[in-house]
Chain A
Amino acid sequence: MEDKQYIDYVHTHAQKSSHITTLIWAFAVGGLICCVGQAFSDIFSAVLPNWEESKIAALVSMTMIFLGSFLTAIGVYDKIGVHAGGGSIVPITGFANSVVSPAMEFNKEGIVLGMMAKMFVVAGPIIVAGTVSSVLTGLIYWIVGLF
Chain B
Amino acid sequence: MEIFLGYVKAFAIGGLVCMIAQILINKTKMTSARILVMFLLLGVVLEFVGAFKFIEEFAGAGITIPITGFGSTIVKGARDGAKIGLFESVTYGFRNMAGGLTAAIFFGFFFALIFKSHSKKV
Dominant secondary structure at the A interface: helix
Interface pair B89/A139, CB less than 8 Å apart: yes
B80 to chain A, nearest CB (A): 8
Interface pair A57/B73, CB less than 8 Å apart: yes
Query: Closest residue of chain B to A61, judged by CB?
Result: B100
Judged by a CB distance under 8 angstroms, whether A123 is at the interface is yes
Task: Count B-side interface residues using an 8 Å CB cutoff.
Answer: 83
Interface pair A134/B11, CB less than 8 Å apart: no
Interface pair A62/B100, CB less than 8 Å apart: yes
Give A61 to B66 CA distance when docked, in angstroms: 10
Judged by a CB distance under 8 angstroms, whether A122 is at the interface is yes
Interface size class of A (residues with CB under 8 A): 35 or more
Given A37-B61, A57-B73, A123-B104, check contact A130 B86 (CB 8 Å).
no
Interface pair A130/B118, CB less than 8 Å apart: no
Judged by a CB distance under 8 angstroms, whether A113 is at the interface is no
Given A126-B67, A133-B74, A134-B97, check contact A66 B107 (CB 8 Å).
yes
Query: Closest residue of chain B to A136, judged by CB?
Result: B78
Question: Cβ of B18: which chain A residues have Cβ within 8 Å of it?
Answer: 26-27, 29-31, 84, 86-87, 89-91
Judged by a CB distance under 8 angstroms, whether A145 is at the interface is yes
A20 to chain B, nearest CB (A): 10
Q: Give me the interface of A with B, judged by CB distance under 8 Å.
A: 1, 5, 7, 9-11, 14, 19, 22-23, 25-39, 41-42, 54, 57-62, 64-66, 69-70, 72-75, 78, 84-87, 89-92, 94-96, 98-101, 103-105, 107-108, 115-116, 119, 121-123, 125-127, 129-131, 133-135, 137-139, 141-142, 144-145
Q: Give me the interface of B with A, judged by CB distance under 8 Å.
A: 3, 6-7, 10-26, 29, 31-33, 35-37, 39-41, 44, 48, 60-62, 64-67, 69-71, 73-79, 81-83, 85-86, 88-94, 96-97, 99-105, 107-109, 111-119, 122
